[in-house]
Amino acid sequence: MIDFVLLIVIAICIIALGLAAILTRNLLSQDEGTPKMREVADAIRVGAEAFIKRQYSTIAVLAVVAAVVIFAIYYFTGQQAIALATAAAFIVGAACSAVAGVVAMWIAVRTNIRTASAAQTSDGKALDFSFRGGAISGLIITSMSLLGVSLTYIALGADPQTTPFVIIGFAFGASFVALFAQLGGGIYTKAADVGADIVGKIEAGIPEDDVRNPATIADLVGDNVGDCAGRGADLFESTAAENIGAMILGVALFPIFGVNGILFPIVMCSLGLLASMIGILSVKGVDGADPMDAMNRGYYITALISAVFLAGGVYYLLGATPGWMYFVLAGFVGIALSVAFLRVTLYYTDHHYRPVQDIADASETGAGTNLIMGFSVGLETTAIPAVLIGVSLLASYWCGTQTGIPQGGLYGTAVATIGMLMVCAYVLTMDTFGPIADNAGGIVEMSQAPDAVRHRMDKLDAAGNTTKALTKGYAIGSASLAVFLLFNAYMADISKLTGKAFEVVNLANVNVFVGALIGAMLVFLFASLAIRAVSKTAQSVIDAVRIQFKDPAIMAGTKKPDYAAVIDITTQGALKNMVLPGALVIIFPIIIGVTMKYEALAGFLMVATITGILMALILNNSGGAWDNAKKYIETGVHGGKKSEAHKAAVIGDTVGDPFKDTAGPSLHVLIKLLATLTLVLAPLFI
Amino acid sequence: MIDFVLLIVIAICIIALGLAAILTRNLLSQDEGTPKMREVADAIRVGAEAFIKRQYSTIAVLAVVAAVVIFAIYYFTGQQAIALATAAAFIVGAACSAVAGVVAMWIAVRTNIRTASAAQTSDGKALDFSFRGGAISGLIITSMSLLGVSLTYIALGADPQTTPFVIIGFAFGASFVALFAQLGGGIYTKAADVGADIVGKIEAGIPEDDVRNPATIADLVGDNVGDCAGRGADLFESTAAENIGAMILGVALFPIFGVNGILFPIVMCSLGLLASMIGILSVKGVDGADPMDAMNRGYYITALISAVFLAGGVYYLLGATPGWMYFVLAGFVGIALSVAFLRVTLYYTDHHYRPVQDIADASETGAGTNLIMGFSVGLETTAIPAVLIGVSLLASYWCGTQTGIPQGGLYGTAVATIGMLMVCAYVLTMDTFGPIADNAGGIVEMSQAPDAVRHRMDKLDAAGNTTKALTKGYAIGSASLAVFLLFNAYMADISKLTGKAFEVVNLANVNVFVGALIGAMLVFLFASLAIRAVSKTAQSVIDAVRIQFKDPAIMAGTKKPDYAAVIDITTQGALKNMVLPGALVIIFPIIIGVTMKYEALAGFLMVATITGILMALILNNSGGAWDNAKKYIETGVHGGKKSEAHKAAVIGDTVGDPFKDTAGPSLHVLIKLLATLTLVLAPLFI
C-alpha cells in the first residue's frame, strides 16, 4: 500500500517533467542563428557528446566493479538479505546520476546556439532562452532525484523502518558517479581554459574565444561537460543523499511521527520543486535591464513560497507534535542560511565590494601581489560562512530540542537542511544558466557577430559568472548543514549493525585523533591531485596549441585551426587524470575503517568534512574573486585591458581556474561521497 | 629540598652556557672584513636593533595586559591561591622568550660580518663561523628554556603534584611572546623581501642584493628579526610547552614513577643538550666540500648519542617499571620521526627530486602553471607527514600500553615527543646558521666583493636554504607529536578544576562539532591575515622604492639610496599589521570556551591543531619548493637566468615568501599557543 503523501511527490515530479517538456519543445522550435554560429555550435555539440560518451563508459566500468564489491561485502558479512537490493539501488542511483549529467549537457548544447541567435535582436530574449535552458535541467534533475528515491523506496518494499537503510545504496551510487563526472568534467573544462588562455591571451596576445586559437572549441565544450554535466550530477546526488540521510533519522523517530517523519524530506522537497516552478515562470527578460534583477526576484519568490509551503508541510505531516512550530522555525533557519550564503558569496566575488577591489589594486604591483592577495582573500572567505553554519546548526538544533521529543535537536537540523534544499531546482536553474550564457557568448565571438550582439552577450555572460559563484556557495552551504544529518545516519547504521548504541566519537582517543588527522589530509591530497590533473592536461593542450601556432596561416586567420585535435587531447588527459584522485577518496576511508574500525572512521569522516567544507570555500571563492578582479580591470580601472595590471590579473585568473571549477566543486561531491560510502560499507567497519 | 636530577639539568645548562660563552668570545675576536663590508653590516645591525626594540616594547605592553587578565581570572574564579604565581610565571616565561629572540638576533648581526670576512679566504672557515653563530643561539635558547622551567618549578615550591599546573603560566607566556615575535618578524622579513624583489628583480631588472635597491638593507635586517629572533622564540616556547605538557602527564603517573616521572622530560632534554654539544663540536668546515655533509654528519651524531642517552635516562628514571624497555622504544619512535621528517622535507624542497623539478618544468609555460603546480605540490606535502605522524602516535601509544601501567599509552607518546625534542639544540643551530649565511651573502654582494668570494657564499647560502626548510619540518613534526600530550594536559587540568573526570570529547555532539568547525576556520583566517599583512606592508615598501628609483642618480649608482627610510616603513607596517591576527587567535578560543564551555573548546583545540599542522606543512613546503625551483632554474636549466621560465619562477618564489616565512612558521606557534592558552585560562571554561 503506497502512502498517500508519496503520491503527492510523484504527482509534483510529473508536473515538473511536463513543464520541462513544454519548455524544451518551445526552446527547440527557436531559430538556430547564422550558418557561422551553427558551425561553431555543432563543433561544440559533437565535442561534448564525444567526451560524455567516453567519460560515462569509463565511469560505467568503475560503477559495475563497485556494485560487485558492495554485493560481496554485504553477502559475506551476514547481510545476505539486503545484499542484492543494496547493490541494485547503487546501480539505479549511479544510472540516474549519469542521466542527470547527460540531460544537463544535452539541453545546454542545444540552448547555447538559440541564445546566441536571440542575442542578435534582444538581450531580454537571450536571457529567457538561456534561463529556460537552465530551468529544463533544474526541473528534470530535481524531479529525477525525488522520483528515484520515491520509486526505489516503493520497489524495496516501502517498509518505513528498514527500507531507508537499503536506499543508501542509491545515494552512494549517485555520489560515486557525481564524483567522477565532476572531476573529469572539471579537469576537462579547466585544462582547455587554462591552455587556451596561456598560449592565446598571455603568449600570443589574442583575445579570448578568438577563432584562430585551436583550444577555443575545447574550452567551450568544457563549459558543457564540466559546469553543466558535472554540477548536474553534483546537485542530483546532494538532494538524494540529504533526503536519504533525513529519512534514516526519521526511522529513529518512527514511534512519534510514524511514516510521516520518514517521508517528510521528500514531500517537502517536492513542494519546494513546485515553488521553484513558480519562481522560474516569474523570470522574464527585459531588454536593457540587468539580468540579475529578474533572476534575483525569481529567487526571492521561490524562497518565500517555499517558506509558506514549509510551514504548511510541517503542520500537515508533523503537526501532531505539540512543538511543531519549532520545526517550522528550524526550516526558516535553513532558508535564511541559503539567502545568507548567497549574500556572502556575492560580497567575496563581486567587484562592487572590498575583496575583489583589493585584488585588483594588488595587480598594479604585479602577478606576485595579485596572487598573494587573492589567496589571502580565499582563506578569509571561510570565516563568515563557518560562523553562519555554526550558528545555523546550533539554532536549528535548539529549535528541535524545544519540541521536547527525543532526538528532536537532530531532527531540527534535518528540517533546516530540507528548508535549504527546497529551493534547489531554482538554484540549479541559475547555475546551468551560467555556462549556457558563457557558451552563447563564445559562439557569438567565434562567429564574428557584430559588436552590438557581443555586448548583449557580455552582459549575460557577466551575470552567468555571478550566478555560478552564487550557486557554488549554495551547494556548499546546504552540504554543510546536511553533514550532521549524514553523520547521524552513519552512527544509526552502525548501532543497528552492532546492536549497541554508537553515540560517542571521542577525539581524545588516539585512534580517532589519527583517523581525523588522515581525514583532513585526504582533503588536501585530493585537492592537490585534482589541481595537478588540470595542470598536466593543460600542459598537453599548451604544447598542441603552440605547434599549431607555428603555422603562419593559422595566425593570419586564413587557415582553420585543427580544433578536433585539441578536443581529443583534452578528453584523453581528463579521463586519464580523474582516476587517481577519484580512487584515492574511495580507498582511503576503506583502509581507515577496516584497520581502525568505525569510531576512528567517524573521526575521519567528520574532520574530513569540516576541512572539505572550508577548503571548498577557499577554492571556489578565491577562484571567483580572481576571475572578477580580472573582469573588473577590463572595465577600464587600473589601466584596463593590455595594462600590466591586467596581465597580472590574467595570471591570477589562470591559477584560480582549477581552484574554482575543478577542485572546489569536486570537494562538494567528496564530502557527500565520504558520508554515503561509510554508510553503505558500514558492515566492513565493525 | 631540590631533587638530585634537577641538579643534573641545571649543571648541563650551565655547561652549555659556558660553551656558548667560549664560542662567542672566540667569534667576536675574528676579523670584521673590509670597511665596505662593515658599512653594510652596521646598517643591518642598527636596523635590526631598532626593530627589535620597538617590537618588544609593543609586545611588552600586550604581555602586561595579558598578565593582569590572567591574575584577575584566577582571582575571581576561586583560584586565589595560585593567581599571583600563575601571572608571575607568565611574565617570567614571556621575558625569557623575549630574551631568547634578542639573543638570537644579537649573535646573528655580529656573526654575519665575520662570516663574510672569512669567505674572503676560505669557505670552510665561513661555514665554521656561521654554524658556530647558530650554535651560540641554539645552546643559549635551549638552556634558557630548561633553566626557566626548572627554576620556576623550584621557585613555585617544587611540589610534584601541584606545581606543574602552575608552571603552565610560563609556557603560555613563552607562546604569547613567540607568536608576536614570529608574526612581526615574519611580516617584516617578507614585506622587505617581496618589495625588494618586485621592484628590483621584476620591474627594474637588477640583481638581488644590488646596492642601488633601497630595500636591500631592510631585506637583510629581515633575516635577523624574522628567521633568527622569530624562530628562536618559536623553539624556545616549543621546548617549554612540550616539557610542561609532559610534566603534567607525569602528575597522573605520580603513584607509579614518583617525582621521576614528572622531571623526566627536562632531564632527558638536558641530556639531549649534552648530545647536541658533542654534535656541534663535531662540525668542521672543509674548503671545497659540500657544507651539508658536515652538518648532516653532526646531526646524525647528535641523534645517535641522544638515542643512547634516552635508553640510559629511561632506565635510570623509570627503570623500576618492568616494561621500561617499551618506553625506550617509544623514544626511538620520536627520534626516528625527526629523521623521517627531515628526509621528507628534503624530498619536497630539494631540486634533486621530482616535486621541485615539476615546478621548474611548469615554469616553461609561465607563471600560471608554475603557481598551479607549486600549490599542488604544497597540498601534496601533507600526505606522507600525516601518515608518519599517525603511525608514530599509534606506535608510541602502543609501546606505552605494553608497559601495562595506567595511562601508559599517553606516556608513550610523551616519551616519543621528548625523544624528538632531544636534538632540539642542534636543530636550532642549523636553523640559525641559515639566515646568518644568507646575511653574510648579502653583505658580500653589497660590498661588491670579488666573484670568488661571492661563489663561496652562494654555496653556503644554498645550504642555509636547505637547513631552514629542514628545521621547519622538524619544528612542525615535533609539535604534531606533542599536541596529543598538550590536549591531555588540558583535560587533566579541567578534571582537576571540576573534580570529575573529563575524558571524552564527543565530536558527534553538536556543540563540539561547531567548536571544531570554528577551530579549523581560525587557522585559515589567521593564515589569511598573516599573508595579507605581508602584502599590505610590501605595497608600502614597493611605493617607497619606486619613488627612489625615479632618481636617475640612484639607478646610475652614483647616489646612495635612502635605506633607512625603507627600514622605517617596514618596521611600522610590520608592527601595525601583527596586532590583528595575533589578537584574533587569543580572542577566538576565549569566546568559544566561555560561551560553549570546555568540551566544545577541546573540539576547537584539537581540530584547529590538525588543520594548523597540515596548513603549516602546505605553506612551508610550497614556499620552499617555489624558492628552490627558482634557484634550480638559475643553475642553467630551462633557459637559466633571464629566461621566461625564470621570470615565472621568480613570481612563484614571491608568492611562496609569505607562505613559508610568515604564515607557516607563525602557525607552529599558533598550535602551541592555543594549547597553553586553553590550559592557563581553563578556569573560565567550566
DSSP-assigned letters across all residues of A255-317: HHHTHHHHHHHHHHHHHHHHHHHHHHHH----TTS-HHHHHHHHHHHHHHHHHHHHHHHHHHH
CB pairs under 8 A between A and B: 252
Neighbours of B674 (CB within 10 A): 28
Query: Quick check: B206 and B556 in contact, CB under 8 A?
Result: no
What is the separation of C-alpha A519 from the centre of its chain, rounded to a whole number of angstroms? 22
Instruction: Give the whole-angstrom CA distance, residue B165 versus residue A64.
Output: 59
Tell me the residue type at A45: R
Write out the three cell numbers for A281. 515562470
Three-state DSSP string of B581-648: HHHHHHHHHHHHHHHHHHHHHHHHHHHHHHHHHHHHHHHHHHHHHHHHHHHHHHCCHHHCCCCHHHHH
Report yes or no: B682 and B489 within 8 Å, Cβ to Cβ.
no
Measured CA to CA, the distance from residue A531 to residue A524 in angstroms comes to 10
In this model, does residue A439 exceed pLDDT 60?
Answer: yes
Helix or strand holding residue A592 (H, E): helix A563-634
Q: CA-CA distance, B603 to B508, in Å (whole number)?
A: 10
| C-beta atoms of B532 and A380 within 8 A | yes
The neighbouring-strand residues paired with A506 are B506
Q: Which residue of chain B has the CA closest to A542?
A: B365
Mutate to test the interface with B, among A193, A517, A540, A614 (most CBs of B within 10 A): A517
DSSP tally for chain B: helices H, then strands E: 22, 0
Distance in angstroms (rounded) separating the CA atoms of residues A513 and B491: 15
Q: How far is A632 from chain B (nearest CA, A)?
A: 19
Contacts of B658 in chain A (CB under 8 A): 372
The whole-angstrom distance between A111's CA and the closest CA on chain B is: 32
- Answer yes or no: are the C-beta atoms of B679 and B489 closer than 8 Å: yes
Residue A53 CB neighbour total at 10 angstroms = 11
**Tens digit of pLDDT for each residue in A343-352?**
899 999 888 9
| Strand, helix or coil for residue A506 | strand
Q: What is the mean pLDDT of residues A332-336?
A: 94
Which pLDDT does position B554 carry in this prediction? 86
Among A257-261, B277-281, B305-309, the least confident range:
A257-261
> What pLDDT, on the 0 to 100 scale, is given for residue A1?
54
Tell me: the pLDDT tens digits for A287-331? Answer: 988 899 999 999 999 999 999 999 999 999 998 888 899 999 999
Q: Residue type at B282? A: S
Q: Which chain A residues are Cβ-neighbours of B607 within 8 angstroms?
A: 507, 516, 520, 607, 610
Helices (H) and strands (E) in chain A, counts: 22, 0
* Torsions phi, psi for B428 (to 5 deg): -65, -35
Rounded to 10°, the helix B451-498/B563-634 angle is 100
The residue assigned the cell 582517543 is A509
**Distance, in angstroms, between B166 CA and closest chain A CA?**
23
**Closest listed residue to residue B134, CA positions, set B375, B356, B299, B322:** B299
Q: pLDDT band for position A202 (50/70/90)?
A: confident
More confident residue, A356 or A468: A356
Put simply, the answer to whether B524 touches A198 (Cβ < 8 Å) is no
CB neighbourhood size of B406 (10 A): 13
Q: Which three cell numbers stand for residue A497?
A: 549493525
Find the closest chain B residue to A410 by CA distance. B510
Mean pLDDT of A236-246: 89
Which residues have CB under 8 Å from B7's CB, separation 6+?
none
Nearest residue to A570 (alpha-carbon basis) of A28, A30, A54, A8: A54
Please state, in angstroms and rounded to a whole number, the distance separating the CA atoms of residues A669 and A598.
22
Distances (CA, A) of A177 to A100, A182, A525, B112, B550: 10, 8, 20, 60, 59
Q: Which three cell numbers stand for residue B196?
A: 625588494
d(CA B42, CA A12): 81
All cell numbers assigned to A541 = 593542450
Q: Do A505 and B510 touch (CB under 8 A)?
A: no
Which tens digits make up the pLDDT trace of B602-638?
999 999 999 999 999 999 999 999 999 999 999 899 9
Whether residues A607 and B376 touch (CB distance < 8 A) is answered with no
pLDDT recorded at residue B1: 54
Rounded Cα gap, residues B350 and B625, in angstroms: 7
pLDDT for A306 equals 96
Contact A531 B372 (CB under 8 A): yes
A648–chain B nearest CA distance, Å: 10
**Does residue B235 contact residue B565 with C-beta atoms inside 8 Å?**
no
Distance from A578 to chain B by nearest Cα, in Å? Answer: 15
Phi, psi of A215 (to 5 degrees): -95, -5
Cβ–Cβ under 8 Å, residues A403 and A323: yes
Q: Which residues of A touch B528 (CB under 8 A)?
A: 376-380
Q: What is the pLDDT of residues B641-672, one digit of tens each?
A: 889 999 999 999 999 999 999 999 999 999 99
Decide if A187 contacts A577 (C-beta within 8 A): yes
Nearest to A119 by CA among A429, A433, A449: A449
Residue B208 has pLDDT above 80, yes or no: no
**Mean pLDDT of the residues in chain B:** 91
Residue matched to cell numbers 559563484:
A469
What is the pLDDT at residue B273?
A: 97
Say if residues B622 and B472 touch (Cβ distance below 8 Å). Answer: no
Give A-chain residues touching B521 at CB under 8 angstroms. 382-383, 386-387, 614
Q: Which residue of B has its CA nearest to A505?
A: B506
Look at A646-655, B265-274, B330-339, B444-453 and tell me which has the smallest mean pLDDT.
B444-453
CA distance A558 to chain B (A): 27
**What are the distances in angstroms from CA B631 to CA B24, B383, B647?**
33, 25, 12
| pLDDT-derived band at B559, boundaries 50, 70, 90 | confident
Contact B603 A393 (CB under 8 A): no
- pTM for this prediction: 0.95
CA distance B354 to B344: 12
Nearest Cβ partner of B614 from A377, A520, A531?
Answer: A520
> Using 50, 70 and 90 to split pLDDT, how confident is the model at A201?
confident
Q: Which residues of A671-682 are buried (b: 16+ CB within 10 A; e: fewer)?
A: bbbbbbbbbbbb
**Between helices A424-446 and A123-155, what is the axis angle to 10°?**
140
Alpha carbon distance B477, A67 (integer Å): 40
What's the pLDDT at B396? 96
Query: If you ran DSSP here, which 8-state letter would residue B502 be given?
Result: -
Q: pLDDT per residue over A445-493, tens digit each?
A: 888 888 889 889 988 988 888 888 888 889 888 888 888 888 999 999 9
Average pLDDT for B278-288: 93
For chain A, helix, strand, coil in percent to 5 are 85, 0, 15
CA A459-A461-A467 angle, to 5 degrees, is 110
The answer to whether the CB atoms of B611 and A613 lie below 8 A apart is no
The ipTM of this complex is 0.94
Determine the length of chain B. Answer: 686
The tens digit of pLDDT for each residue in B312-326 reads: 999 999 988 888 999
- Output the CA–CA distances (angstroms, integers) from residue B589 to A331, B476, B673, in the order listed: 30, 21, 11
Q: Which amino acid is at A367?
A: A
On chain A, the residues whose CB falls within 8 A of the CB of B197 are: 368
DSSP string, A363-430: HTT-HHHHHHHHHHHHHHTTHHHHHHHHHHHHHHHHHHHHT-STTHHHHHHHHHHHHHHTTHHHHHHH
Least confident of A85-94, A419-428, B216-225, B425-434: B216-225
